[in-house]
Chains A and B, each alone.
Chain A
Amino acid sequence: MFVMYAYVIYLVLSIAITVWVARTLHDNGRLFLIDAFHGQEALADSVNKLLVVGFYLINLGWMVGSLRTSEALNDPRVTIEFLADKIGTVLFVLGVMHFFNLYLFNRFRRRALDELPFAEPPVRPTGTLTRG
């Protein structure tokens, strides 16, 4: 009898959390990407949007796909445990995806830093010219 309530609470909470994480990622990732694309704001915004779309698809897909339960949710305790279990998994998946996105941002940015003129070659010189 609690099944409908449980499903609705699960979906509303999971979607709200996903939207919040995606917006945080979108707003705060922008600066990283602008840096990574050497100040090309239009390109950074476009990549940012594409990353957020991927993020939404994976997370919403995951949470809709794992909605199903075989438990008979006929007392409040089982219902709360069901919700905790499902929402906990969603939070965990969001966390993994979030760190994966941070890793991507950082990789883009590190690559951009490598291309700056004052970067150092990756191997030590075998000698130096003596100036007299």
Chain B
Amino acid sequence: MRQLTVYYDPRCGLCCAVRDWLARQPKLVKVECLPATDPGAEITVISDTGEIWEGDSAYIVVLWALRDYRQWSKRLASPSMLPMARAMFAKLSQYRGTLSCSLGLEPEVR
């Protein structure tokens, strides 16, 4: 695997902020961020080898691609942490609109 393509929600300010943060991180696998064509869809990651990760798994795979967070992704994916990590990322996705508003993050598409 050489590249991951991340489809994010362009109507979500938090997602756009995370995309900018991702661009600044040192990576072990190339990461390309594209706005999802279906706004409101949950985050999806597709690798150049054809694997798809959706929802909470997608967050962990994106962390895995980052040099400084690979150990964290492995920790979060360990059997004892995974249910909690999934629940946390699911909540993050669910309330991303509310969070964007309260943090004052502007989306790129209204």
Q: Would you give the 0/1 interface string for B17-39, flagging 1 where the beta carbon is closer than 8 Å to chain A? A: 00000000000110000000000
Q: How far is the CA of A128 from the CA of B54 in the complex (A)?
A: 11
Contact between A122 and B60, CB atoms less than 8 A apart: yes
Contact between A127 and B54, CB atoms less than 8 A apart: yes
Within 48-76 of B, Cβ neighbours of A (below 8 Å) are at: 50-55, 57, 60-61, 64, 67, 70-71, 73-74, 76
Contact between B77 and A122, CB atoms less than 8 A apart: yes
With beta carbons under 8 angstroms apart, the residue of A123, A124, A131 that contacts B50 is A131
How many A-B pairs have beta carbons closer than 8 Å: the answer is 53
Assess whether B2 is interfacial by the CB under 8 Å rule: yes
Q: Would you give the 0/1 interface string for A107-127, flagging 1 where the beta carbon is closer than 8 Å to chain B? A: 000010011011001111111
Q: How far is the CA of A132 from the CA of B96 in the complex (A)?
A: 35
Chain B positions within 8 Å of A118 at CB level = 1
Q: How far is the CA of A82 from the CA of B57 in the complex (A)?
A: 60
| Interface SS majority for chain B | mixed
Q: How far is the CA of A131 from the CA of B52 in the complex (A)?
A: 13
- B residues lining the A interface (CB < 8 Å): 1-2, 28-29, 46-47, 50-55, 57, 60-61, 64, 67, 70-71, 73-74, 76-78, 82
- A residues lining the B interface (CB < 8 Å): 111, 114-115, 117-118, 121-129, 131
Q: Which 6 A-B pairs give the minimum distances between C-beta atoms?
A: A122-B77, A125-B51, A129-B50, A127-B52, A123-B57, A126-B54
Known: A121-B61, A123-B77, A126-B57. 19 other contacts (CB 8 A): A111-B71, A117-B28, A122-B60, A122-B73, A123-B53, A123-B57, A123-B60, A124-B57, A125-B52, A125-B53, A126-B53, A126-B54, A126-B55, A127-B54, A128-B50, A128-B51, A129-B46, A129-B52, A131-B50
